[in-house]
């Protein structure tokens, strides 16, 4: 395959890789509609991420196939955190597992179904694979940024984040009522990996008293001091929001487990329970911990996520038809733009310490435990 604009594209493929996020179906729907209605293309859906390309699991996607999926969470194509074609686990006769480069099978599947260009919906792991396919094989590919963590640096915001944020905020609202009724400390652990966007914004929106994020290591004694301060002022409850990647000063993030053949080998989790135990032990105040977990990934996407996802899906098809391969569509408020895939996965987008959101939280009396 040669680089540059490709005339005469007739069939494109779409896959979603990595963790699911509300809004993937909106991307698929918009891509199919624009491809079929505007460009007269055929669309093939690849099932279960890159595993579908490796194992040849595909299906046709027409206008009828995307009817009614706009408000649906998840993805009609399925997804997985595993199945990297450049590092694919193969079980040997002796029972051991060996990782091999099976990217040639990806090309075979694409050629078999006459798929000439590919849209990859994913986070940093999936987009790195997309970048490798472009760099190694000149495969016409365009990426669509997807993660509830909002941690991709090349886009102002990822779809799925707003829905996850809304879910976390609603959880804080509910915890407020039981915290007030029982005079308890309520600790809520939220997702976000190595970035604190969900914790910070949900904490602000939900009126949390303490917010612990990866970008600001905390001192548990200062967290407890904030709780005692509230207690002395007659406020007999507190809400503590903890990002899964938060860590104490001089300490490490809490790792729940390690999955060797996954895009994201390290799975964080457990910091909420650790913080809750330490608060109760130091303050003597009854403390309860809620781990929100995969609830943040589920449910119908918000209006914002539906619109953003639809804009990105349409833009991805337009990029392919303009011959602009090896790029990722992105939000550059208020416009949809694009950046090279290599730039898209270059670094994690973290909460800037000088952010007006951090400043707002501090001025409003919220503690970061520092």
Amino acid 81: pLDDT: 82
Amino acid 89: pLDDT: 86
Q: Based on the domain organization, do 32 and 142 belong to the same domain?
A: yes
Catalytic residue (one of 20, 149, 151, 162): 149
Amino acid 261: pLDDT: 60
Amino acid 323: pLDDT: 93
Full-model pTM: 0.90
Q: Based on the domain organization, do 79 and 201 belong to the same domain?
A: no
Closest by alpha carbon to 121, among 160, 72, 162? 160
Q: Based on the domain organization, do 215 and 172 belong to the same domain?
A: yes
CATH of the domain at 258: 3.40.50.460
Report the alpha-carbon distance of residue 142 to residue 340 in Å, rounded: 9
Q: Based on the domain organization, do 273 and 167 belong to the same domain?
A: yes
Q: Based on the domain organization, do 43 and 120 belong to the same domain?
A: yes
Amino acid 6: pLDDT: 46
Name the residue range of residue 81's domain: 11-147+154-159+299-344
Residue 331, in any domain of the structure: yes
How does pLDDT run along the chain (370 residues), one tens digit per residue?
Answer: 334 444 579 999 999 998 899 999 999 999 999 999 999 999 999 999 999 999 999 999 999 999 999 999 999 999 988 889 998 888 888 878 888 999 999 999 999 999 999 999 999 889 999 999 999 999 999 999 999 999 998 999 999 999 999 999 999 999 999 988 888 899 999 999 899 999 999 999 999 999 999 999 999 999 999 999 999 999 989 999 999 999 999 988 888 766 666 556 677 888 999 999 999 999 999 999 999 988 999 999 999 999 999 999 999 999 999 999 999 999 999 999 999 998 888 788 999 999 999 999 999 999 999 9
Asked about 149 being catalytic, the answer comes back as: yes
Amino acid 1: pLDDT: 34
Q: Based on the domain organization, do 201 and 237 belong to the same domain?
A: yes
Q: Based on the domain organization, do 288 and 316 belong to the same domain?
A: no
Amino acid 3: pLDDT: 41
Number of domains in the chain: 2
Q: What is the DSSP letter of 300?
A: P
Residue 2, in any domain of the structure: no
Q: Based on the domain organization, do 25 and 140 belong to the same domain?
A: yes
Q: Based on the domain organization, do 97 and 187 belong to the same domain?
A: no
Amino acid 93: pLDDT: 80
Q: Based on the domain organization, do 96 and 140 belong to the same domain?
A: yes
CATH of the domain at 138: 3.40.50.450
Amino acid 90: pLDDT: 87
Beta strands in 176-326 (DSSP E): 185-190, 210-212, 238-243, 255-258, 266-268, 287-291
């Amino acid at each position: 395959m040669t680089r540059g604009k490709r005339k005469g594209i007739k069939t494109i493929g779409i896959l979603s890789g990595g963790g699911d996020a509300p809004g993937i179906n909106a991307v698929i729907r918009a891509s199919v509609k624009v491809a079929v209605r505007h460009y007269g293309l055929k669309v093939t859906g690849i099932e279960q991420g890159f595993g579908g390309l490796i194992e040849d699991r595909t299906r046709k996607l027409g206008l009828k196939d995307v009817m009614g999926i706009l408000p649906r969470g998840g993805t009609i194509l399925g997804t997985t955190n595993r199945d990297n074609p450049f590092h694919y686990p193969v079980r040997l006769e002796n029972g051991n597992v060996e990782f091999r480069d099976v990217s040639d099978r990806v090309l075979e599947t694409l050629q078999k179904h006459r798929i000439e260009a590919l849209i990859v919906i994913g986070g940093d792991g999936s987009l790195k694979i997309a970048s490798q396919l472009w760099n190694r094989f000149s495969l016409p590919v365009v990426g669509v940024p997807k993660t509830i963590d909002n941690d991709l640096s090349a886009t102002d915001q990822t779809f799925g984040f707003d829905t996850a944020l809304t879910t976390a905020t609603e959880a804080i609202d509910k915890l407020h009522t039981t915290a007030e009724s029982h005079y308890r400390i309520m600790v809520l652990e939220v997702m976000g990996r190595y970035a604190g966007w969900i914790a910070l914004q949900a904490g602000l929106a939900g009126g949390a008293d303490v917010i612990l994020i990866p970008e600001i290591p905390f001192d548990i004694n200062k967290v407890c001091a904030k709780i005692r301060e509230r207690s002395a002022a007659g406020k007999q409850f507190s809400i503590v929001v903890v990002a899964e990647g938060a860590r104490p000063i001089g300490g490490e993030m809490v790792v729940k487990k390690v999955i060797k053949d996954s895009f994201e080998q390290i799975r964080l989790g457990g910091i909420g329970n650790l913080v809750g135990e330490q608060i109760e032990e130091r303050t003597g105040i009854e403390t309860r911990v809620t781990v929100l977990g995969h609830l943040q990934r589920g449910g119908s996407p918000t209006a914002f996520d539906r619109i953003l996802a639809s804009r990105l899906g349409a833009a991805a098809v337009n990029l392919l038809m303009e011959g602009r391969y090896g790029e990722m569509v992105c939000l550059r408020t208020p416009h949809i733009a694009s950046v090279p895939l290599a730039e898209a996965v270059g670094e994690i987008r973290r909460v800037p310490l000088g952010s007006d959101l951090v400043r707002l939280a501090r001025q409003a009396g919220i503690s970061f435990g520092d």
